Amino acid sequence: MNCENIIDKIKNDNKLLSDICAYFQIDHKAVDLIHHTARSVSDIRMQFNIDYNWILKISTNNNLDEKFFIETSKLIHNYNKSRIYAPRYKISRDDKYLYELDFENISFIAWIEEYAPYKICSSDDYNEDLKIQVLEETSKYMTMYTNKDLMSRNSMWSIIDLSIWDEKIDEKEENYLSLRESLLDIEQKELVSKLDKINLDCRERIKNNIKDLRKCSIQADLNPSNLLLKDGEFVGLIDFNMAGKEVNINHILNETRYDLSLEDFESLSAEEIYYKMTNYRKNLLNHIFKYYKLDDLEIEMWDSYRKIVDLFLFPYVSLWRYLIKENIHVDKVIELINLIMES
């Protein structure tokens, strides 16, 4: 049975949906499917609206367990205390957050969240002013909850300490290896040698200091579709599936990155691109540092994290590898990598 058939059967299984509602002690009139994604049978995600009071989520995601929901509930509570609204999870009659089920010999989990009374941000709503609002408000939250109520799992940004999505190495290390391979394909052995040293030196410094760096549990996925708006202003966050603890400066550097594009390479020199990246981040950091102040160790470790982020961010590496493969603006790619390493 394919994914679409499974989704169709679940959405029309009134007894299954009613049983889940009963387990969470919810009287209901209607349970309507509002959204679904399915990359494969092992990655099906469905969202149902329950009378505009609750959202039921059914998923084959095996990275979420009862411990995750207990810890994330505390995280959500802290966001709400900091005046960033986040929908709370509903607890069941057995004091559990998860309902486990088998459907067509596939294991699913289900959970229920409050229905958020705000608009979900669209691409038309999103702009730089809104991004600044988000960064300022989440910086206030980070200041309040640094080194408090830390989750046991790491966020998707994590370097050295693996996230739940990593197997043997973190994502930035995977990106480094793939970039290295592309550069060797075009005989850039000297550049690769420099890249190897930068990566090794930065990682060694991070590894030696990571236990003492300030951390915070965060939602960890500030893309526009996870932002809630009221009258065009940022008021809250949804989708905590990526949540985890993170080194504060790593989180800051990832969220203040400039999104490189093919158009940048077509219209700008490598120096101009680097200048644009640097000034874009500098502007955002000015807003963050109104509320969050770096300590001495964070200042000392800043460039180690910055170089890892700016050299091995997945969208950057993907774009650079594409340009190398297609033999487009390769000189600019090489010059830009050198500028980042030497800064």
Domain locations in the chain as residue ranges: 3-64+87-116, 128-342
**CATH code for the part of the protein at 128-342:** 3.90.1200
Q: What is the pLDDT of residue 144?
A: 98
Each residue's pLDDT tens digit, 22-56: 999 999 999 999 999 988 888 899 999 999 999 99
Asked if pLDDT for residue 103 goes beyond 70, the answer is yes
Asked if pLDDT for residue 187 goes beyond 70, the answer is yes
* Helix 296-312 / helix 330-342 crossing angle, nearest 10 deg: 170
Average model confidence (pLDDT) across the chain:
96
Q: What is the pLDDT of residue 2?
A: 84
Could you tell me what percent of the chain has a pLDDT over 90?
94
Could you tell me what percent of the chain has a pLDDT over 70?
100
Q: What is the pLDDT of residue 1?
A: 67
Query: Residue 229 — very low, low, confident or very high, per pLDDT cuts 50/70/90?
Result: very high
Query: Residue 115 — very low, low, confident or very high, per pLDDT cuts 50/70/90?
Result: very high
Each residue's pLDDT tens digit, 69-98: 999 999 999 999 999 999 999 999 999 999
Asked if pLDDT for residue 280 goes beyond 90, the answer is yes
Q: What is the pLDDT of residue 134?
A: 98
Helices (H), the chain: 3-11, 14-23, 66-81, 128-145, 171-185, 189-209, 248-255, 262-267, 270-288, 296-312, 314-326, 330-342
Asked if pLDDT for residue 119 goes beyond 90, the answer is yes
Region 62-72: what's the mean pLDDT? 93
Structure tokens of 283? 């502007």
User: What residues form DSSP beta bridges with 58?
Assistant: 46, 110
Strands (E), 4-124: 31-40, 43-50, 54-59, 99-103, 106-114, 119-120
- Distance CA(97)–CA(244), nearest Å, equals 18
**Domain covering 3-64+87-116, topology:** Phosphorylase Kinase; domain 1 (3.30.200)
DSSP-derived secondary structure letter, 151 = -
Asked if pLDDT for residue 317 goes beyond 80, the answer is yes
* Burial of 336: CB neighbours in 10 Å, binned 0-12, 13-18, 19+: buried
141 alpha-carbon distance from chain centroid: 17
Residue 49: which of 4, 118, 121, 116 has the closest Cα? Answer: 116
